[in-house]
Chains A and B, each alone.
Chain A
Amino acid sequence: MICLLGGLLLLVGCGKNETEAVAETVETLQIEEPTKPVTEEEENPVEEEPSAEVDSYQTDPVPRDKPKPVEPQKAEITETELHCTLSISCATLLSNKELLDPDKVELVPSDGWVLQPVKVTFQEGENVFQVLQRVCREQKIHLEYMDTPLYNSAYIEGIHNLYEFDAGDLSGWMYRVNGWFPNYGCSRYQLQDGDVIEWVYTCDLGQDVGGSNGARE
Chain B
Amino acid sequence: MQHRDAFSGYHPLVNFLFFALVLGGTMVFMHPVSLCISLAGALSYSIYLKGWKKGSLLYLPMIVLMTAILNPAFNHEGMTILTYLPSGNPLTLESIVYGIAAGAMLAAVILWFSCYTEVMTSDKFVYLFGRILPALSLLLSMTLRFVPKYKAQFQTVREAQKCVGRDSSQGSILSRMKHTVTIFSIMVTWALENAIETADSMKSRGYGLPGRTAFSIYHWEKRDKLALLWLLFCGCSMVCGAFLGGMKWRYFPTMRGAGLTGLTASVQLVYLALCYTPVALDRREDWKWKHLKYEI
Question: Is A145 engaged at the interface, CB distance under 8 Å to the other chain?
Answer: yes
Stretch at the interface among B62-70, B84-92, B176-184: B84-92
Residues of B within 8 Å of A103, CB to CB, are 250, 252-253
Q: How far is the CA of A137 from the CA of B78 in the complex (A)?
A: 15
**When the two chains form their complex, are residues B252 and A142 in contact, meaning their CB atoms are under 8 A apart?**
no
| Range of interface residues on A (Cβ < 8 Å) | 10 to 19
What DSSP secondary structure best describes chain A's contact surface?
mixed
Interface residue ranges, A against B (CB under 8 Å): 103-104, 107, 133, 137, 140, 142-145, 158, 161, 163
**When the two chains form their complex, are residues B89 and A161 in contact, meaning their CB atoms are under 8 A apart?**
no
A160 to B: closest C-beta gap in Å: 9
Looking at the complex, which one of B88, B90, B250 makes contact with A142 (CB distance below 8 Å)?
B90
| Range of interface residues on B (Cβ < 8 Å) | 10 to 19
A133 to B: closest C-beta gap in Å: 6
**When the two chains form their complex, are residues B89 and A144 in contact, meaning their CB atoms are under 8 A apart?**
yes
Which 6 A-B residue pairs are closest in the complex by CB-CB distance? A161-B253, A144-B76, A103-B250, A144-B89, A161-B79, A142-B90
Task: Please name 14 further chain A to chain B contacts, defined as beta carbons within 8 Å, in addition to the given A142-B81, A144-B90, sorted by A numbering.
Answer: A103-B252, A103-B253, A104-B253, A137-B84, A142-B78, A142-B79, A142-B92, A143-B89, A144-B76, A144-B89, A158-B77, A161-B77, A161-B253, A163-B77
Q: From B84, which residue of chain A is reached at the shortest CB distance? A: A137
Q: How far is the CA of A115 from the CA of B26 in the complex (A)?
A: 41
Residues of A within 8 Å of B89, CB to CB, are 143-145
A32 to B: closest C-beta gap in Å: 43
- Residue in B76, B84, B92 whose Cβ sees the most chain A Cβ within 10 Å: B76
Q: From B75, which residue of chain A is reached at the shortest CB distance? A: A144
Residues of B within 8 Å of A143, CB to CB, are 89-90
Residues of B within 8 Å of A107, CB to CB, are 253
B87 to A: closest C-beta gap in Å: 8
Q: How far is the CA of A145 from the CA of B89 in the complex (A)?
A: 7
- Residue in A103, A137, A140, A161 whose Cβ sees the most chain B Cβ within 10 Å: A161
B101 to A: closest C-beta gap in Å: 16
Provide 18 A-B residue pairs closer than 8 Å at the C-beta atoms, listed in order of the A residue.
Answer: A103-B250, A103-B253, A104-B253, A133-B88, A140-B81, A142-B76, A142-B79, A142-B81, A142-B92, A143-B90, A144-B76, A144-B77, A144-B89, A144-B90, A145-B89, A161-B79, A161-B252, A163-B77
Residues of B within 8 Å of A137, CB to CB, are 84
A54 to B: closest C-beta gap in Å: 29
Q: From A140, which residue of chain B is reached at the shortest CB distance? A: B81
Q: How far is the CA of A140 from the CA of B82 in the complex (A)?
A: 11
Interface residue ranges, B against A (CB under 8 Å): 76-79, 81, 84, 88-90, 92, 250, 252-253
B148 to A: closest C-beta gap in Å: 46
Q: How far is the CA of A208 from the CA of B82 in the complex (A)?
A: 35
**When the two chains form their complex, are residues A161 and B250 in contact, meaning their CB atoms are under 8 A apart?**
no
Residues of A within 8 Å of B84, CB to CB, are 137
B237 to A: closest C-beta gap in Å: 26
B74 to A: closest C-beta gap in Å: 10
A105 to B: closest C-beta gap in Å: 11
* CB within 8 Å for A145 and B79 given contacts A107-B253, A161-B252, A161-B253: no
B126 to A: closest C-beta gap in Å: 45
A104 to B: closest C-beta gap in Å: 6
B123 to A: closest C-beta gap in Å: 47
Residues of B within 8 Å of A104, CB to CB, are 253
Q: How far is the CA of A161 from the CA of B79 in the complex (A)?
A: 7
Q: From A129, which residue of chain B is reached at the shortest CB distance? A: B88
Residues of A within 8 Å of B88, CB to CB, are 133, 145
A34 to B: closest C-beta gap in Å: 39
A214 to B: closest C-beta gap in Å: 31
- Residue in A103, A140, A158 whose Cβ sees the most chain B Cβ within 10 Å: A103
Q: How far is the CA of A115 from the CA of B89 in the complex (A)?
A: 19
Q: From B79, which residue of chain A is reached at the shortest CB distance? A: A161
Residues of B within 8 Å of A163, CB to CB, are 77
B21 to A: closest C-beta gap in Å: 28
A138 to B: closest C-beta gap in Å: 12
Q: From A130, which residue of chain B is reached at the shortest CB distance? A: B88
Residues of A within 8 Å of B92, CB to CB, are 142
Residues of B within 8 Å of A140, CB to CB, are 81
Q: From A103, which residue of chain B is reached at the shortest CB distance? A: B250
Q: How far is the CA of A144 from the CA of B253 in the complex (A)?
A: 13
B26 to A: closest C-beta gap in Å: 23
Residues of A within 8 Å of B252, CB to CB, are 103, 161
